[in-house]
Every structure is written in structure tokens, then in C-alpha cells.
Amino acid sequence: MTREVLQPTARPTADSVDTLEDGTAQRYLRATIAVAVLGTVWCVAYLAGSAGTEALAYVFVPVGGALAAVSVHHLSRRNFGFDPVAARFWRAIMLAVGVITIGYAWLALDMLTHAAEARTRSMPAPAAACVAIGFLIAFWALARVPVVPSGGVERWRMVLDRMIAFLGCAAALWYVGLAPMLSAREPWSRQAMLLVGLAFLVAVGAATKVSYIAGGPVDRVAMRLIAAAGGVPAGVVAVLAVQFGYIASVPAQAIVMPLAPVLVTFGVAAQSRADHGLRRDPARVGVLLPYLAMILVDVPLIAVAFGAPLRWPVRVVLIAAVVVTALVMVRQYLASRENARLLRTSRVQEDRLQYEVSHDGLTGLANRALFRDQLTSALATAGSVSVLLVDLDDFKTVNDLLGHGVGDRLLVSVARLLRAEVGNDGLPVRVGGDEFAVLLSGAGADPEDLAERLLAALSHPISEHRLLVQASIGIAAAEPGATADSVLRDADVAMYTAKQRGKASFVRYVDGMGEPVLAHMQLGGELRRALDNNEFRVVYQPIVRLDCNRLIGVEALVRWHHPTRGVVSPAEFIPAAERTGLIVPLGRFVLRETCRQAAAWLAEFGPDALKEAGLNVSARQLHDPDFVHDVVSVLADSGLPCERLVLEVTESAVLRGQQVSRALYELDRMGIRLALDDFGTGESSLSLLRAFPAAIVKLDKSFVDGIEIDDGRPAAVDARQAVARAVIQLAHALGLDTVAEGIESAEQVAALRELGYTVGQGFHLAEPMTADGVSRLLALQQSAADSPETVIC
């Protein structure tokens, strides 16, 4: 016997189940349409006198209702892609349709068993109760569907809009539908009118509800179709009952009422389409319905105005119109309050935005834009106008050493001080960074008095960190015909001049003051051109042994050979290079040239010819994150050993923050020797020597000048040599080498040697020279060393 192999059955996918469900919905839709068409055909045949008893008209509604209930049941069983809200809604609709179908099946059975009385027989009370309960369940299901989320005034506005829409539409349906049935020639039963009223209630409630649903799990089109299933047949039945009396019950039951199951199944199909992503984008919700309701509630009033009798149904509509009018008044009152609140909020936001645009976010002072506007307006009045430009001295050091948070709080404290000193006499401004300004207008304002008060206030510690900060102040008074740009330019020139004169002072602008400042600014532009055109040259000042004048090293110095001005002094262009940031590429050029030349000397004259080659490094270079990488790259390209390179750093540069400290320690770990230049002129301290990885201490020229003078007073001689003696003793104690700078006489050499200095540099020993000059010295030194009569020192 052969064994059959059972193939596993493929589990249906979500897409296949959706396709099956859509096909089922379409089949039930076609079936309910067929029932409605069959009812229409039978009604036409019955009215023609050849289709049997009138009681058969009551069969079509329960048959179509059963099909609609089964269709809703299939939809409510779906368990994927279905929100719990939608599942709850459709289960309730299934229950409502089922209960209504039971009521109409009861009615059909009752009519078939009493066929002779079908035209005049009333609906059994149990059947009417079932239909009424079904309508109430449908109304409850619609009420539980969530609407647009809202709160506060918006929530009350929505409630009022829904009440206006509900009462207006209900009043119109009462006037044109239900009220005429009560006064018809052949009055209908209470059960029929109750059910028509409930159908109207469901229709109006659903229409109101759908207008305030923005998207959501229950499709808005499906809800409209469910509402139409109650409202459309009820309205048509009401019209038929008023116009044709009892005879209208046949077309009502066979043609009109079977449309309700058809509309329900259309709703099921719409929900299925929505679940497949074919949902329409929700339009703006709840906008037109209240206005439409107000128009509808006015229709009966217009009819009365044109002569319609004022019976009690119309009085009901009048009462509804009064209530709607009251609700509209409340709604408009809330809307006016909300509009006023929004207007106030808009004005507050506009004021806040205007303030933020015109004021500094950190200090709260006026910013540059407001400053220029106020200055332009003040100049237009042709009054007395003065501007103070206040720039904090060395503020960058605060940021580098203490951090930007401390710097920001210091700026806030300066702004507070500025505001207190200026008072109502002018406008304090933060121009940007660490730069402030004051605009003074009026004949009584004294800018120089204010500048003195500001400098006096800044002479005391400020901010919670108790910091001392100084400022340079430039003052410019507006001349007749002056513009905002010219006044600001003059104040900037005066402030720059105050900085050049030693900072912590104020300068008032006078004619001609801008020329040297402008020349200094133009110098920065020429520096960029000079770098591009290779106008800089490196010269070398020898460093020698004091006992035998032997060359042991060089210090690289840079000179600018200007095409028209000749050689420009470093004292003139180095500050400009520092200010513009061009010191970084200029220092990179000096580093590369020095290392290349030192490597060439070692290759030509041997490793013992030159012990070291040094160059100055500024704090701006050490702040450059690429500086260490540049040094490594230049050493690799030139082939100069690390221990032959000396980088000279000033005491003030050592104290410029963590970035500088990290760079110095990284260079020290590479074997590069670091020299503390101009020692004794800055923040000299034992802690500095211990914290800084220095290998060499260079005694500043100011402590060498006058060291050789002997006026016969031992105390005076000791005083002139005290710093030099202390430096050499400190260096020996810490194991550091020393170099004396600025030696200009043989007597100074003798005095320094007596104090213990062995190495020095200066014009007496050798002036700065070109690389060829150093090469000649090395050659002479080498030839002397080769002579058997020369004693090597």
C-alpha cells in the first residue's frame, strides 16, 4: 500500500483574508440590492392588481435586514488592522440591525397571519419595541465614536455647535416630516410615528456626530451611510404617509424601507475600503453644519411669515428657534472672548518677538540693530549725540581659563553695571561679544563723566566670582551732518587708540586720530599679501658660550622686506599678525624654514656643530588645534631631530588655558625642548616653573641692563643683580638651563659669568644674521676646531 504524503496547508495571509472579506461584503451588498429590486418589482405588480396579498410587502424588510446583519457580522469578526473603537462600533451596529430585523420579522409574521387586516392593522407592541431598541442601540453606538480631541473653550464651542446643529436639523425634520404625520387625513399608529421619530433622531445625531470626526478608525462615509439608513427611509415614509395615507404602506414597506439594509451594506463596503487605505482625507470638520441648521430652523418661520397657519407643530419649531438663537448668542460670546484672548496672545507674542529681535538674549540690553535705529533717529533730530564704545580688556583670558559659563555671567554683571551707571541718561547696548556701547542724547549728557564713572566701577571686583575686569572706552560726538556709520567708526577708532595707549582708559575722538589706526588696519591686509608673495625672511641670532664665544645655537627671527617701505620692524607687524590671526601661517612659515635650515647645517657641519635651533611661538599658535601636528609634520619633512628644536614661549602664553597646556605637554613628551622666554617680566612664580615643562629659562634683557654698573655702593650693586642671581639659583635648583638675553657689553658678560651664567645672546656677542652668515661662523668654528693649536671649550 502506498503512503500518501500530506502537504502542509498554507496559512492564509492578511492580504488574502482582506480580499475574501471584500468579496463577502460585495456579495451581501448585491444580495440586499436584489431584495430591494425584488420588492420594487412586486410592488409594481401588486399595484397593477396581480401580485397577491398586501401582507407580502412586509417580507422584504426583514429579509434585507438579515442580509445586512450578516454582512456587519462578517466585518466585526476581522481581527487585524482593526481598531478596538471600530470593532465596538460595528458590533453595536450588528446588534442594532439584528434587533430591528427581529422587530420587522415579527411585524411581517403578524401581517401574514392577519392578511385581511394588513392595511389598517397596527404594528404589534413587541415588534415596535424591538425596532425602537435597535434604533437606540444604533444611536448609542454613534454617540460612543470619539470626536476631534479638544479642551477648554474649544470643547464648549464644539458642544454648542453640535447642539445648534442637532436642534436645527431636528426642528426642520419635525416640521416637514413628523408633524404632518400627526395631522394627516388618515393618522398613523403611535408605533409608526415613534419609529419614524427615532429614525430621524438617529439620522440627525449621526449627521451631527460625523461632522466633528476627523479621521479615526470608523470611516466617516460609513457612518453617513448608517445614518442615511435610518433617516432617508423615515423621511420618504413620512412624506408618503401624509400625501397618500394608508395606501402608501405598501410602497413604503416594499420599496422605501428595503433601502435601509442596502445603505447599511454600503456602509460595510465603505469601511472595508477604508481599512485598505482607500479612505478619503478628512475635510475641515464641523464648519458648515451649524450655519445650515440655523437656515433650516428659519424655514418654518419664513413659512409663517408668508401666511402659513400658526398651529402647535409650528410653535414647537418656534421654541426650537428661540433655543437655537440663544445657543448661537452663547456661542458668539465664547467666540468673541476666545478671539480677544487670541488677539491678546498674538500681541504678547508680537511684543516678545519684537523684544527678542531688538535686544540681546544674554544680557537683556539693546542689541546692535536697535542701537543703529536709535542712533539714526537721534541724529535726525539734530540734537547733541554722543556714543561710548566699551570693549572689555583681555576678556578672552577669562573664557580660556575659567570657561564660557563664567565669561557669560561676567558679561551679565557688566551689563547690570552699565545699566546702573547710565540710568535714564542714555541707551546701554551690547554690540556683540565683549563689546558694549552707550548712546547719549541731549545737551545735559557728559560722555567723559560717564566714562570715568564706568572705569571707576570696573575697578572693583564684579559678578559672583568676584573678578576684576578692565575696559577701553572710545568716545565720539556727532558732528553736524554725521551719519550713524561715521559716528560708530569714530568711536571705534577712539576705542582702538585707548587700547594702544595701555588699556583701562578712555579716549575722545579728534580729527586725524583715525589715520594711524587705519594704517595699522591696512597693515593686516598687506600681511596677507606679503605671505602670498614670500616677502618674509628668517634671520638667526647666535646663542654662544660666554667663556669662549663658541656658537652653540640660534634663535630664529622674522623680518618683513616690504616692496616699498623696506624692512618693517617686527614691533610693527607682529601685533597686527596677532590681531588678524595671520600669526598662525606666519609662525608655520618660520617653523618650516628654521627646521629646514638647522637640518642643513647639521648635515654640512656635523652633529656637534649646532646644539639647538629655537624660535618664538605665540599663544595664538598654541591655541591652534593643528599646531602640534604641524610641528610633527615639519620635523618629519626636514629630518631635524626633536631634541634639536627649541620652542620659546612667554610666561603669559603659558597661562592661556587647557588647550595651551595640553599642546605644551604633548610637545615635551615628543622630546622638543621648551624655553620660558622673557622670564621675570610676566607672571613669574615657582608654581609656574613646576607646572610648565620648561627645559630652559631665558633671563629678560631688562634684568641684564645695568647689571655691570659698580658705583661703589654694594647694596645698589646687589639690588641690580638680585633678579639675575635669583633666576640662576632657581634654575640650578630645578635642573634647568639658562640663557641671558640682550647682552650689549663685555662688562655685562663678565658680571653674568660671575653670577653663574654660561650661555647668552645679544648684539655684543653677535647680531641677527642671515643663514649664510651663520654658515660662515660654523665654518670658521669648524676650521678652528681642526687646528691643533685651538683649545676646544
DSSP states of 706-756 as a string? TTT---S-HHHHHHHHHHHHHHHHHHHHHT-EEEE----SHHHHHHHHHHT
Q: Minimal CA–CA distance to 103: which of 35, 200, 43, 191? A: 191
741: annotated active-site residue: yes
Cα distances (angstroms) measured from residue 722 to each of 690, 730, 743: 21, 12, 17
DSSP letter for 254, please.
I
pLDDT at 3: 38
CB atoms within 10 A of CB 419: 14
> What confidence score (pLDDT) does residue 11 get?
41
Strands (E) across 236-309 are located at: none
- Read off the DSSP letter of residue 649: E
Point out the residues of the chain with pLDDT beneath 70: 1-23, 50-51, 78-83, 147-155, 157, 169-170, 172-216, 231, 234-247, 276-299, 301, 303-305, 307-314, 382, 514, 516-518, 520-521, 652, 654-657, 680-691, 786-793
- Cα-trace Rg, the chain: 51
pLDDT confidence of residue 559: 93
Contacts of 20 (CB under 8 A, 6+ apart): 12
pTM listed for this prediction: 0.48
Burial 85-102 (b: 16+ CB within 10 A, else e): ebbbbbbbbbbbbbbbbb
| Helices of type H across 48-124 | 60-76, 84-113
CA-to-CA distance for 254 and 39, rounded, in angstroms? 5
Q: 788: which DSSP letter?
A: T
Cα-Cα end-to-end distance for the chain: 117
Catalytic hit among 572, 741, 747, 789: 741
What the block records as the C-alpha cell of 555 is 634663535
**CB within 8 Å of 657: residues ≥ 6 apart:** 400, 401, 623
- What per-residue confidence (pLDDT) applies to 190? 66
What pLDDT score does 404 carry?
Answer: 85
| Residue 432: φ, ψ to 5° | 155, 145
How confident is the model over 701-731, as pLDDT tens digits? Answer: 888 988 888 777 777 777 778 888 988 998 8
Per the rule left: phi > 0, alpha: psi between -120 and 50, beta: everything else, 40 is alpha
Residue count of the chain, please give it.
Answer: 793
> How far apart, in whole angstroms, are the C-alpha atoms of residue 186 and residue 346?
63
Contact present, 646 and 612 (Cβ < 8 Å): yes
28-58 pLDDT tens trace = 888 888 988 998 888 888 887 766 778 888 8
C-alpha to C-alpha distance for 447 and 432, rounded to whole angstroms: 21
What are the grid coordinates assigned to 448, written together? Answer: 567723559
DSSP string, 111-142: HHHTGGGTTTPPPPHHHHHHHHHHHHHHHHHH
| Runs of H (alpha helix) within 566-609 | 570-580, 583-605
